[in-house]
Structure 1
C-alpha cells in the first residue's frame, strides 16, 4: 500500500534523449518558460535535456530537484519551485472535477482538462529556479532550464506530476475524487439495495484455488541511481544521503543477483576501504575528499593510508587488503618456482622477504589465496609501495600486465 509520504514524493529515472512535448499542456509549460528567459541559456538547457545530462528527477509538493551534469566533473544540484494550492483552492478544484464527468474522464485518461488549465499550469514568473552552479546571471541558468524542459516532458506524459507540484499526490487525489463522485451520484439517484457493492458471504467464503505466482522479473543490468534530495534544514547533508543511497543500492543489487551480502562480515577498516575504493584518488571531487577525510578519521588512519587501502580493494577486494596489511610466512614452494620463472622472463633482481619478492621499483606479494599481487614504488621513494594491477597465480603474468616503469612512480602517490 502506498503511504501518504510515498504518494507525495516521486522519482523519475533519467529519460532517454527525446523530442519536445506533444500535448498542448506540455507545450504551454514550455511557452511559460521561454516567455521570461534568456534565449542563449534556454538553448543550452534544451540541448542538455535532449542529451540526457540530467540524473533522476525527484518531485515533491512545490518543488522538483535533479542533479545536472555540466562542464565540471561534479554535477550541479538544481531545483525548480512552483506555488502549491491552499486547501480551499483544492476543495474548489476537486469539486469542479467531480461534478463534471468530462473533466473527471479527462483526468483519469491522464489529460489536463481544458477548464482547469488556467488554474493548474504555471503563469509568467511562477517557476522559480535555483542551482548550485556559479552562474549568477538572470535565471534560469542552463542547468535549471534543462530541468524545466525535462519537467515539460514529464508533465506531457503524466499530468499528475503537475498536480503533485501543486501540492497533492496521485493516490490521494484519486481517492478524494472517487469519494466526491460517489457523493454526487448518490445525491442524483439513491441506489437500490441490489445495486450496492459486495458479494454474498457464502460466495466470499467458498473454497477456491489460486493460480501459481508469476515468475519474478529479471534483475536490472546495474544498480539504479538514487533520487535527488530536496533541501530541508532539518535533514542531513544531501551529498551524504546520496553516498548512503548509492551504497545501499549496490548492496541490494548484490543481494538480488547473487543471494549474498557483499558487505556482510566486513570489519570497520575493510568497509572504509570498500567505500573509498569507489572514488579513485586522482581527480577527487570536493565531496569525495570529504568522504576520504571522514572515513580516515573514523578508522584512526591517515588519508594516504586510506587511499592505499582503497587501491588494494580495487585490486582484489578483501584478500588484496589482507595482502597489503598483513605480511606472513608462506611455504617455500611458491617462491622456489617463482624466482626461476621471473629470471627466465628477463625479470631479475627480486629479493625474497616473508611473502614479498622485491625489485628496485616493482614488487610481488604472495597472498593466502595463492595469487601474486603486483606493487610499484618510485626511484624517489623506493619503500613507498602501492598496489598496481590485477593479481594472478602466475608471477610473470602479474608483472607483465603492468605498464612499463615510469619515472613519476605509481599512480597512488597522486594523493
Structure 2
C-alpha cells in the first residue's frame, strides 16, 4: 500500500522474498546493476540482500533525490541526483513526441526507446556507476548492508511502477502528466503545413541569419502513420510467371513494410540525429527474424530449407529470437569457453547471486551451467548476461530474456 503527498510517497514494508531475484523488469535490473557496480565491498551487498530477503527493511519513503528507510534499527538513505529544469524540458519533449512513451508509462512500463531517446538528448534516467550515493547511521561511508538492503527493495518498487524512478529524479506523477498533457495540446494546435501548390513566403538569407535567435523553430515532421502500410495483394486474375511464388512475395513485402515503419519511427524520434537504427544481420539471422513473423507453413518450410535447418531447428531458433533477438540466437547456437577474465566475472556473479546455502548445485561446461537433478540451465553470453534454458523432450529450449543476475535468470527458467 502507498500513501503520502504528491512529492513524497511512502510504501509499507515489503514482505520477505525467497527463491527469486529482486528485479524482474529490465529497468529494475539496471537499478541493481548501478548498485552492484558502485559498491566496493561485495560482502556488504551480500548481507544487504539477506536483510532484504528477510523483510528487515521498514517502510520506504521516496521523494525527489532521496529514498529512506529504517533497516535493523539504522536510518538508511540513498541519494540520486535530480534532473535540472533544462533536462526535464528535453525529457518532456521526448516523451510527448511519441504517444507510445506516455501509454507505456501509464501502463507501468518503462519503454527502452524512451530511455534511449532521452539519453540521446543528454538526459540519463537510469542511474549509472557512482550515481547511487549511500548514507547510513551505522557510519560506513560506502554502501553498507542497510543501504544495500534498501536499494534491493526499491528495485521491487521500480518493477511495480517506473514513476518511482521519475519521482526520485525530481518530478511527481501528477506534475509529469500535467506537463505532458500541456505539451501534447501545444503539438496538436500547431499550424499545419501550407497546401500543395501554394506560393511559399520567403525570407532573405541575410535577414534569417540576423534573426536566428528569434525565428520560430522549423516545423515538425509529418506525423507517423498509426500502423505500417499494407502492400497490394498479388492474387489477381493474371497468374504469376513460372517460378514466382506470389504468397512468398506478399510475405516479403509485408515484412519490408513493417521494418520500414520501425526504421521511420526511430528516425523521427526526438534527438535521434540520423543514427543507424538497427545492426546488420547475417543472412541466417535475417531468415530467423522473418520466420518469427509467423509466415504460413509452406513459406516457413522454404525458409527452413534455405537456411539448412529442419522445421524443429527453425522453431527453436525462432523461440530464441522471440526472447532476445540476435543476441539470444547467438547464445543458442554458440558453444564457447570464456577467457580467464570472462570466466572470473562469471564466477563472481554466481558467487554473489545467492545467499549462503541457497545456491543450487551447478555443473559447469564451457559457457553453460546446468542445475543438477533439474531441467534448467544458465548460459553465459559474450555480453556478460545470463540466459535461462529449460530442457523439454530432450532439447534445451530458451526459457526467457537475459538477466545480469544469474539468480533472476534461473528464476525465469523455473517459472517458464
Normalising by structure 1, we get a TM-score of 0.42
Q: Relative contact order: is structure 1 or structure 2 higher (C-alpha 8 Å, sep ≥ 6)? A: 2
Rg larger in 1 or in 2? 1
